[in-house]
Amino acid sequence: MDSSREVGVLVDHLGAWSAGSGALYRRLADSLHGLVTQGTVLAGERLPSERALAAALRISRTTVVSAYDALRSEGVLESRQGSGTRVSASVGPVRGDGWVPGSLANPMYQNLLRETPRVISVACMRTPALDIVGDAVREVAEQDLPALMAEESYHPRGLPVLRQAIADHYERQGLPTTPDQIVVTTGAHQAVALVSQLYLRKGSPVVTEDPGFAGCLDLMRDRGAAFHPVPLDDQGIDPNALRRTIVEYTPHLLYVMPSYHNPTGRLMSAARRREIGELAARYGTPVLEDSAFTGLRAEGEPPPLAAFAPRGTEVITVESLTKVGWAGLRLGWLRAPAEIAMRLSRRKVLADLGSPLLDQGVAVRLLARYDELAAARSDQLRVALHRMESLLREAVPTWEWERPDGGAALWVKLPGVNARAFAQVALCHDVELIPGPMMSATEDGRYAEYFRLPFAFDEATTRELVWRLGRAWRELDRHGPVVEDPDRLVV
């Protein structure tokens, strides 16, 4: 397991391993043991050498040796001459937990399960509730509660009044929609999961933007998708490369994020949306349009891609109130051709019978004030973006990024430094980062110098975050550029 890619996978699984208290070697040993008991690392699987893991984690080899020794004494690991260190055959499950060994690991969600109060995590974006959300909750409690409590159905497709409100939301954007085209979901994440279940099976070719959103890529990877990434230009996914890829692979699904791309924050132009829609229609390619990465918005944002696609094109549009309203409001939806919406509804029933009715009641109220809500969030994030950029320019002037058209994050490039290595140094300063390779469907370490940096924090958190990042960067800089040399360690 000593190839750079495989060692990187284990490091990604470990996530914020160094957070907490106690000796560093003990924290590493406990984290490795946890991966074994969870089934992420299987019985009999070979671990990296002490030297290789130490280099990847930017710690001393002595720390790794001590951690391995502790696990050997506990019977978790065993070593044999010539075969390296392996998980003992008698320890841990022999079946995996869904995190396939050797695949690209995504720590974005698994780290939500950890309690790390000292760590500022920028792995997942969290948007605080706006006052309008509180108003909507109070209005539901004071005015709508009796009617909601009288409901006798789970409404797996969604409350009829909410589906009508979502249809009206699209009508206002110039996309004719009827309620039977809408399925309400528990967040956009569930909507993408349902679409993946419907369209994908093992080996299904999927065309996606590169880079892309790791969370949704993982959902498709879990279905066995075979990815065929296509690069971006300043207007969105490259149409010439997309055409060649569609012709060569006949994809079961095209996954794009027109408004706004995650992680770059780019806004796909209206002309590009029309071009993509026409390509999809010509080759019969279903399109999953993910529009959940909202927040900061650009003026003149075009209607959804589905509005530009020729009649009969299979476009499923996914949206959510999470980024625009509140991260705690797990309410999203999808818009699809009516027959596809019905097929997705059947999978929704199997998933959870239906999303919470109280949340749906709040969503009805928010959609009635959607323009006001979106403008308030955009104004808030415009201030947050300016603050983050100003602090970064002062603390780390050599970092590079393009100001995003929208969304809620910067796509930062480190000058000549591997982001995985910097993430380990940042972790020692209680900051959790997602390195760029995690935001790609490829397994070749692409975007090695990049990481995604959300800016939707309050002022105090932003200042503390940038201060910690600056300290980590200066510490790394004192030791010179990061090179692929296991003897050059940072901490």
Output the pLDDT for position 108.
58
**347: which residues sit within 8 A by CB, 6+ positions away?**
194, 197, 198
Burial class (CB in 10 A: 0-12, 13-18, 19+), 172: exposed
Q: How confident is the model at residue 5 (pLDDT cuts 50, 70, 90)?
A: low
**What percent of the chain has pLDDT above 90?**
72
Q: How confident is the model at residue 486 (pLDDT cuts 50, 70, 90)?
A: very low
pLDDT(443) > 80:
no
User: In this structure, what token pair is assigned to residue 45?
Assistant: 């699987």
The pLDDT of 347-369, averaged and rounded, is 96
d(CA 420, CA 12): 9
AA identity, residue 413: K
Q: How confident is the model at residue 487 (pLDDT cuts 50, 70, 90)?
A: very low
Dmax over Cα atoms in the chain, in whole Å?
72
d(CA 351, CA 190): 9
pLDDT(4) > 70:
no
Q: How confident is the model at residue 89 (pLDDT cuts 50, 70, 90)?
A: confident
Output the pLDDT for position 113.
58
d(CA 335, CA 180): 9
Q: Find the radius of gyration of the CA atoms of the chain.
A: 23
Output the pLDDT for position 125.
78
Output the pLDDT for position 103.
39
Q: Per-domain residue ranges for the chain?
A: 4-103, 131-371, 378-478
- Residue 393 CB coordination number (10 Å): 11
In angstroms, the Cα distances linking 345 to 254, 320, 336, 353, 380 are 21, 17, 11, 9, 35
DSSP 8-state secondary structure symbol assigned to residue 45: P
* Residue carrying the six token digits 């499923």: 316
pLDDT(53) > 50:
yes
Segment among 27-41, 115-129, 389-403, 439-453 with least mean pLDDT: 115-129
The pLDDT of 310-337, averaged and rounded, is 95
Most confident of 80-89, 98-107, 281-290, 412-421: 281-290
CB 127 within 8 A of CB 408: yes
Output the pLDDT for position 104.
38
Measured distance between the N- and C-terminal CA atoms of the chain, rounded to whole angstroms: 23
| pLDDT averaged over every residue in the chain | 89
Output the pLDDT for position 477.
72
d(CA 283, CA 123): 36
CA 116 to chain centre: 19
* Residue carrying the six token digits 């790394």: 476
pLDDT(98) > 80:
no
Domain 378-478 superfamily per CATH? Aspartate Aminotransferase, domain 1 (3.90.1150.10)
Per-residue pLDDT of 283-302, as tens digits, reads: 999 999 999 998 999 999 99
Segment among 49-53, 94-98, 148-152, 377-381 with least mean pLDDT: 94-98
CB 273 within 8 A of CB 302: yes
**What architecture (CATH level 2) is domain 4-103?**
Orthogonal Bundle (1.10)
pLDDT(203) > 70:
yes
User: In this structure, what token pair is assigned to residue 217?
Assistant: 């890529």
pLDDT(367) > 60:
yes
The pTM for the full model equals 0.85
Output the pLDDT for position 186.
96
Per-residue pLDDT of 64-79, as tens digits, reads: 999 999 999 999 999 8
User: In this structure, what token pair is assigned to residue 311?
Assistant: 């009649």
pLDDT(475) > 70:
yes
Higher pLDDT, 38 or 319: 319
d(CA 224, CA 261): 23
- Residue 270 CB coordination number (10 Å): 17
CATH top class, domain 131-371:
alpha beta
**What percent of the chain has pLDDT above 70?**
91
Per-residue pLDDT of 324-339, as tens digits, reads: 999 889 999 999 999 9
The pLDDT of 356-378, averaged and rounded, is 96
Output the pLDDT for position 92.
58
